[in-house]
Amino acid sequence: MKLTNNIDKLGTAGLFLTALLSPCCFPLFAVVASALGLGSFELFGGWTMWVFQAMAVISIVGLYLNYRKHRNSLPTVIAIISGGLIIYSYNFYDNDNWTILLYMGMFGLLSATGINYYINKKSMTCKTCATNNGKTVELQSTLTCPNCGHKKTELMPTDACVYFYECEKCKTRLKPLPGDCCVYCSYGSLKCPPIQAGENCC
């Protein structure tokens, strides 16, 4: 779970590290690289821009995974736009000023990662969060009835599995789908606390 929370940071750090250690491709970082004695250094050779774009994609995937947990779309939207700028500027923008779009994308991903970090930090103190074996989990999940589409937000228990749940609208008795341990894992907006914590359910 901890790795999932940090994928965006790893991708963004890799993005800037690739740029810093490839001053020939990223003149904006050439001054810093020269100060470190890396003026003509090329970490990945001809693969530099492909590695750079891969790091951008990793960052976007990490931010999307965090969106699925916290449901805050702002960092993900910024990341998708920024990643699009990076890929478009290098592959499709036939202009001498293509690096401007590239740098806009880089710093856009950096800002998205920063905003996401702030949101994660803030959510640690949320009223519907709890600690499950040392890991923070969200207890509030919205159940959607597969029969009538009715939605109801409930607080999940941390010490028991909810195997049956009755829809308050159509009175359908829900039970987990094959392979799921509880109704929240099958019909909820979030999985149950043990699954969120990366453990086996009860």
Name the residue among 6, 1, 3 with its Cα closest to residue 113. Answer: 6
How far apart CA 11 and CA 17 sit, in angstroms, is 10
For the stretch 91-127, pLDDT in tens is 888 877 888 888 899 899 999 999 888 877 766 556 7
For the stretch 83-92, pLDDT in tens is 999 999 888 8
CB–CB of 137/130 below 8 Å? yes
Mean pLDDT, the chain, rounded, equals 82
Greater confidence, 202 or 83? 83
Name the residue among 50, 55, 59 with its Cα closest to residue 90. Answer: 50
Q: Exposed, middle or buried by CB within 10 Å (0-12, 13-18, 19+), for 93?
A: middle
In the numeric block, which tokens belong to residue 175? Answer: 């039970």
For the stretch 14-55, pLDDT in tens is 878 877 777 666 766 666 656 665 555 555 566 778 888 888
Greater confidence, 31 or 63? 63
How far apart CA 155 and CA 143 sit, in angstroms, is 10
Average pLDDT for residues 8-13, to the nearest whole number? 84
C-alpha R_g of the chain? 22
Greater confidence, 16 or 142? 142
Confidence (pLDDT) at 188:
94
How far apart CA 40 and CA 18 sit, in angstroms, is 14
For the stretch 165-199, pLDDT in tens is 999 999 999 999 998 989 999 999 999 988 888 88
Question: HEC string of the chain?
Answer: CHHHHHHHHHHHHHHHHHHHCCCCCCHHHHHHHHHCCCCCCCCCHHHHHHHHHHHHHHHHHHHHHHHHHHCCCHHHHHHHHHHHHHHHHHHCCCCCCHHHHHHHHHHHHHHHHHHHHHHHHHHCCCCCEEEECCEEEECEEEEECCCCCCEEEEECCCCCCCCCEECCCCCCEECCCCCCCCHHHHHECCCCHHHHCCCCCC
How far apart CA 151 and CA 168 sit, in angstroms, is 9
How far apart CA 72 and CA 195 sit, in angstroms, is 21
Q: Where are the domains of the chain?
A: 2-123, 129-196
Q: How confident is the model at residue 133 (pLDDT cuts 50, 70, 90)?
A: confident
The yes-or-no verdict on residue 1 having pLDDT over 50 is no
